[in-house]
A and B are shown apart, each in its own frame.
Chain A
């Protein structure tokens, strides 16, 4: 049992621990493991404790239930049983008592009557009188004897030895009269022997023993009438009955004893009483009465028959008087019948009971108290034993009752065991069920606890992850701050270099390129920093107007160098309906395409990279099957944009309309596996991990792109492409000012009878350009290589044709040859020959040269020498083409008259040709110089471009140019400007002052924002009074962090004042924070530009110039 239970628990333990273990991740640290085990252990202990408590409770409950049912039942039953036993004993005893009483009564009455009779005849003088006395006595005795049927015998023994007795033989139902013969007896004077006691005693003994000789007679009697019914017979004396003699009443009082007769098998109770004479001096006769105790035994039997068990009566000495069993009470010994002792009884139960009593009370019969025992084992059974003591004078008796316990308590005992068994089994069942329940419940609880613990650890991990992400952002922010410094140094040095006048144009262009790349690098740095902002949702998009096309073209220019090195064609193909000016965050848009294009370049080894763009108006936008736009998302984004525009309504003009700009970036690289089309946009995800080795990269680029595109309300995806390579499609929602005029070059092109020869290496680009020109109504010839070009040219300028041309000279046609420098064979000296060949056509056609970044100076000089002044850096795209064409048209219009003249004497003065053309060209160049400077940013406008990119959001082309010139012109760039410097740091105050003064500005320094505001207002008042002196401030340099009033507050205050006067003084922020959110904050409070500390001199000057001169220009 116990081992079974242990095994059961072992199993539970095993299952519990194994279930715990199953949840253990394999690769956890050991302390976690220990913790886990400890927890499992504690759960198990708790489980055991609960089970143990349950077991104890149920056990107690069972015990109590059992105990109380048992005790109460038993107590009540015991009391009932006690009553019953008492009753059972009481009844035979009462009967005994009654018998004794009646015996005593009859004896006493016999004595009284005898006394009376004997007294009457006491004076008997003769035999006759004596006889008469006996006769009377006989009658009287008979009367009494017959009245009591229960009597066994009645005898009178006279003093003289005469005996009269009646006897009932219970066996044969006869009644006898027994008497002795009178002859032997002398007349005795009763009174004479009265006072001689010794004599009396002697007499008595003599009388009894001396009477031996007397003859006894017995005559049967009719039991009813007492008449003689038969003859008298002689019988031996004392044979039949005990005759009570004088010896039995030695002291003259009544005596009792139990006797035995030969004729009955039951003991007899005999009483003897003396009959006194008149003066009570002497005893004249003794009356003896015997009663059978048979009826007591009968009653006992009846009683026991009902209840079972045994009853018996004994004398005090232990002689058995009556039993309920049928065993004989007398024993046939040698001396005749004798009483048996109870302990010698043939009945086993009685014998053992007597023995038990003896043993218990150590052979001292309990005289004065009653014995009750409920648990005595007699034989093989348990008995109740009760004894009562009946104290009669001279005959004390003890009654004993043995009832088998079974008879009374048998069923109770049987039930008791059954109840116990049932109770125990029930409680065991409950215990088992309870344990299982506890196991299941605690299992659930422990699972829940485990889950909770896991949840807590997850939360912990998340918090840690968030913290580390914060650290990352913090780190990036700090890094950007630190990286900006060397970058600023690089840029600054480049600026110094650019200021150098002794640079050749080519060097200048190269340095400009470096400058632009550095700027791009700086911007990329900031953008990488921004990814943390994007991730935390802090990215704010700028809202500024910019020329999208120009930005994208600049981008392609930037990448073209890289492309050229890899022998990849970089092409931009923007449709004509693209809005010129859009409103948005130019930096972010450029970032999107820069990422996409650099990605494409990375994976493209040969072929081309095409950036296509076209525009759809949202209102007219119909479902385009070819594109992927999700209309609902688009509409949502549109609504949002509209709403935001509503909020920003003050800043943006109301009549902006929103356009959808579609873009495609296509390359001919290795392509992306379709299964990766979605995942490439995830952070740190690359389509093929092995590319990291080959191409480098972090996998962040496309993630940033997608975030930015989504931010601008667009979508991006990888699209299916014919052939190898990748096709990225995206659209952006941008607003565009409605009042920007569209280009009008179509008309011009159509007016002039244009013919264009495109001699370009890149097939794709050429095809795109030629298609576009054809659409504009321009005739096109395409050349792929030098030989093809010569063929085309020769065909065009056949002598016959020239003839016809000259004859129809009125109708002017302009022939433009756009030629890639790559057409020339530069590796050898053949290119000079080629140029000579081309020079032959230079009078009739205009040349536009497309240079490479690595085109050597000698070629350029040679070209210039030969009069080919129209040179642009590759790659060629629409805008550049338009500029080339426009320049040529202008030129041709300008020297139309001259040309006409020249055409006339062309034949005459062929030798002079080159010279004339040269002069013409120089003239025309000066004429369209400004146009060129507009059109070829990479030649002259580099500086203005980077200014705009870094610090001036709304740079105007014209004023930048002027600034540029000024900066270039000399140190005193800020001559005549009046500047207010608000700066609390004395060192910076000093440094900035010197810097500004060196470039010619006048500086007023104040220490905090309050002073700045005050100075400005005082000046205003003075200005009002005396408009000439001192001059008004042209600009304020404002430190952001100052005591009393910081730069932001001061700016706000100044702008508030300005609201009234409608003037606007430029404010430039000075801050040590490099984050663009700070920039945003600065611009938000109304500052115009933003400079970071430490102050970069050139940057400061250019910024100040751009702000002040523009204002001046706009004012004038």
Chain B
């Protein structure tokens, strides 16, 4: 039982740190609230969707920015999508990078775009690792027979 408590504590610490360091915002909390008996794996499902979507978008962006003549409209559309999906799961830092990214896109600043893409990738990978760690903890708690504590 101690192991479960420890895991729970770990989980809470990890989750609060995610909020504190700005990786996530309350949109994620809303997602967690939406998860109930009818949709037991809702959060994981949505976040996985987000991972898939993000990887696709990041690839698209990378290829779009490598073109001879960059189609900024297209890039802008991708970034807009990325921003929408990241804000929907509450990946705040990714979203912030996207906001900057779109500004560079409006200015047609290729260098800025490339830098932003790199940042977005980094942020995405970070948040992905963090979330995966969170889900792992969650799984462990469930396996150990404990209940997942609510955050906030």
Contacts and interface: CB of A to CB of B under 8 A. Distances in A.
A474 B46 CA distance: 33
B84 A1093 contact: yes
A988 B85 contact: yes
Contacts of B42: 990, 994
B88 A1093 contact: yes
Contact of A985 (B30, B38, B53): B53
Contact of A1094 (B46, B50, B90): B90
Interface centre among A485, A489, A1072, A1095, by most B CB within 10 Å?
A: A1072
B55 interface: no
A574 interface: no
Interface string A475-507: 000100110010001001000000000000000
Contacts of A988: 84-85, 88
A536 B44 CA distance: 46
A540 interface: no
A478 B99 contact: yes
B31 interface: yes
A994 B34 contact: yes
Interface stretch (B75-83, B114-122, B127-135, B138-146): B75-83
A1030 interface: no
B36 A998 contact: yes
Contacts of A482: 99
Nearest to B89: A987
Nearest to B27: A1094
Given A987-B53, A987-B89, A994-B42, A1072 B84 contact: yes
Nearest to A488: B26
B21 interface: no
Given A987-B89, A988-B85, A991-B34, A1041 B77 contact: yes
A987 B80 contact: no
B81 to A, nearest CB: 6
A995 B42 CA distance: 11
Nearest to B50: A987
Contacts of B27: 1094
Interface residues of B, number: 28
Interface string A97-141: 000000000000000000000000000000000000000000000
B53 A1097 contact: no
Given A985-B85, A985-B88, A1041-B80, A990 B49 contact: yes
Contacts of B45: 990
Contact of A990 (B46, B81, B83): B46
Nearest to A984: B81
B80 A991 contact: no
A986 interface: yes
B99 A987 contact: no
Chain A contact residues: over half helix, strand or loop, or mixed?
helix
B39 interface: yes
B8 interface: no
Contact of A994 (B39, B84, B90, B99): B39
Contacts of A998: 34, 36
A986 B31 CA distance: 14
B43 to A, nearest CB: 10
Nearest to B34: A994
B99 A481 contact: yes
A139 to B, nearest CB: 142
Contact of A991 (B31, B53, B99): B31
A987 B36 CA distance: 18
Interface string B97-122: 00100010000000000000000000
Interface in B48-105: 49-50, 52-53, 77, 80-81, 83-85, 87-90, 99, 103
Interface string A1036-1050: 000001000000000
A997 B36 CA distance: 12
Interface string B1-45: 000000000000000000000000111001100101011001001
A985 B98 CA distance: 16
Nearest to B98: A1072
Contact of A986 (B34, B38, B53): B53
Contacts of A1097: 30
B34 A987 contact: no
A270 B84 CA distance: 147
A988 B80 CA distance: 13
A985 B34 contact: no
A1094 B99 contact: no
Contacts of A987: 46, 49-50, 53, 84-85, 88-89
Contacts of B52: 986
A1072 B83 contact: yes
A474 B100 CA distance: 12
A670 to B, nearest CB: 44
Nearest to B100: A478
Nearest to B42: A994
Given A481-B99, A489-B26, A998-B34, A1094 B77 contact: no
Given A995-B34, A1041-B84, A1072-B84, 9 more contacts: A474-B103, A481-B99, A986-B49, A990-B49, A991-B34, A991-B46, A1072-B87, A1094-B27, A1095-B88
26 contacts: A474-B103, A489-B25, A492-B26, A985-B81, A985-B84, A985-B88, A986-B53, A986-B85, A987-B46, A987-B53, A987-B85, A987-B88, A990-B46, A991-B46, A994-B39, A994-B42, A1041-B77, A1072-B80, A1072-B84, A1072-B87, A1093-B84, A1093-B87, A1093-B88, A1094-B30, A1094-B90, A1097-B30
- A-B complex: 3 closest residue pairs judged by Cβ atoms: A987-B85, A994-B34, A987-B88
